Amino acid sequence: MEPSSSPRTIGLIGAISIGIGGMVGGGIFAVLGEAISFAGGATPIAFGFAGIIALLTAYSYAKLSAHFQNRGGTVFFVDQAFQHNLLSGGLNLFLWLSYLVTIALYAKAFASYGATFFTSSSNYLLHVLISVSIVLPMLINLISSSFVSKSETIIVAVKLLLLLLIMILGAATVDSERLSPHNWKPGLEIFIAGMIIFVAFEGFELIANSAEEIKNPEKNLPLAFYLSVVGVLILYIGIAVIVVGSVPEKQLIAAQDYALALAAEPALGKEGFHLVAIAAVLATFSAINATLYGNARLGYLIAKEGELPEALDHEKRHIPMNGILTIAIISLLLANSIDLTEIAILGSAGFLLIFAVVNFSAYRLREQIGASALIPLIATLASLLALITLLIQTAQSNPTALVIFCGFVLASFGFEWLYGRSVRGHWFHRSY
């Protein structure tokens, strides 16, 4: 590995903030209601299932990042394990598409919470809010990318403080009976709920993209991965306990798309409801802004290496204009045409597949990166088992989501096959 030319400016706290900020974006606001509808009183356990897989995967990322300190992150790791072939090329494109799904998920949550400020809600209003939540960040990214990084730190701090406030003040309103086993759904449904909401843990992998800039990386990178995942897992379980324990399940399911705001009412009153709704709108908006920013640069990176059309590898003022526009258009189509449950399933299934490959990459490279053989192998099997379980359940309960997921996979690998053969003429080893 060549030494990094980037200055080491990010300490341990900064690295942890990247991981926490990536995970606690709009995900918890978007999928909490989904978890409750599937798991009932066992929602905290569902988050626990998802968190265990995230923590196992964090081990693979920690080992890979410490050895391969490269801004390519996930893309680079897969290429190192499989060289440049159909699997690595197709998965890189699939990763790019998966981030489009997360933008759509955040846009849905933005619209759901934003609609609570209007006296009457309609599908037309929701579509307008969804579109605004994507078009405005698109314009911000096209005009000034510096605004994204400057605003993100403040918004991450605000939403974390608010979530902690709900946990602290809401503890007094918890009715333990609502969390008791007789209010749990069957065990398999609880596990499936955890996999549907797995997308809420997506984001810790972004630490790897900053590995070149992190001080004392051999020590701080593993700590950043483990502490950020464990911290967010504790936060999510705590929030789930407060929400499920404070509000009757029927009310939460009725207000599924904005369940977290409803849960603030017992402790904070109507003002608490509006405060959480405002925070959710800010959090999901900033998450769209940051994801669009990051994914446009990921698209630029893989387009420069020949995996996306040449039109996406151009910049103006160091801004990938075409990439930003392309991402915004596709995200608008996804968010306005697919419902929240389908988007959550797509996002979770997508990252379970990606993490399964990354875990297997760590297993293949275990001697080179100094990793245990057992943990990456367990992480690979756990990710695959979770993915298969989720897809089987989806085939029975939401076949449309399964068709869309399969379409994404076929589009990613089909495009790589056709574009790699007919345009590039070959697959090649990536040089960063």
Q: How confident is the model at residue 432 (pLDDT cuts 50, 70, 90)?
A: very low
Per-residue pLDDT band for 431 (boundaries 50, 70, 90) equals: very low
The predicted model gives 105-123 an average pLDDT of 87
CA distances from 191 to 32, 354, 417 (A): 15, 19, 35
Mean pLDDT of the 300-312 span: 71
CB contact at 8 A, 20 and 170? no
- The reported pLDDT for the residue numbered 128 is 94
Q: Could you give the count of Cα atoms lying within 13 Å of 375 in the half-sphere of its Cβ?
A: 18
User: Which of 230, 216, 201, 242 is closest to 36 using CA atoms?
Assistant: 242
Arithmetic mean of pLDDT over the chain: 84
Query: What's the CA gap between 212 and 220, in Å, rounded?
Result: 12
Asked if residue 392 lies in contact with residue 65, where contact means CB atoms within 8 angstroms, the answer is no
The model's pTM is 0.86
Give me the sign of the Cα torsion angle 428, 327, 100, 153: positive
Cα gap 62→362, rounded to integer Å: 10
- Residue 290: partners with Cβ closer than 8 Å, 6 or more residues away: 21, 25, 148, 152
pLDDT tier at 127 (50, 70, 90 boundaries)? very high
pLDDT tier at 145, thresholds 50, 70, 90: low
62-90 pLDDT tens trace: 999 999 988 778 888 988 888 777 777 78
Higher pLDDT, 249 or 422: 249
Q: Which residues contact 26 (CB under 8 A, 6 or more apart)?
A: 105, 106, 109, 110, 280, 283, 284, 287, 288
Reported as a single tens digit per residue, the pLDDT across 24-55 is 866 787 788 888 888 888 999 999 999 999 99
What is the model's pLDDT at position 320?
79
The predicted model gives 389-398 an average pLDDT of: 90
Closest by CA position to 62, among listed 379, 339, 287, 334: 379
- The mean pLDDT value for 280-291 works out to 82
All structural domains of the chain, each given as residue ranges with its CATH number in brackets, are 12-422 (1.20.1740.10)
Q: What's the CA angle centered on 422, arms 420 and 428, to 5 degrees?
A: 30
Q: Is the predicted pLDDT of residue 149 greater than 60, yes or no?
A: no
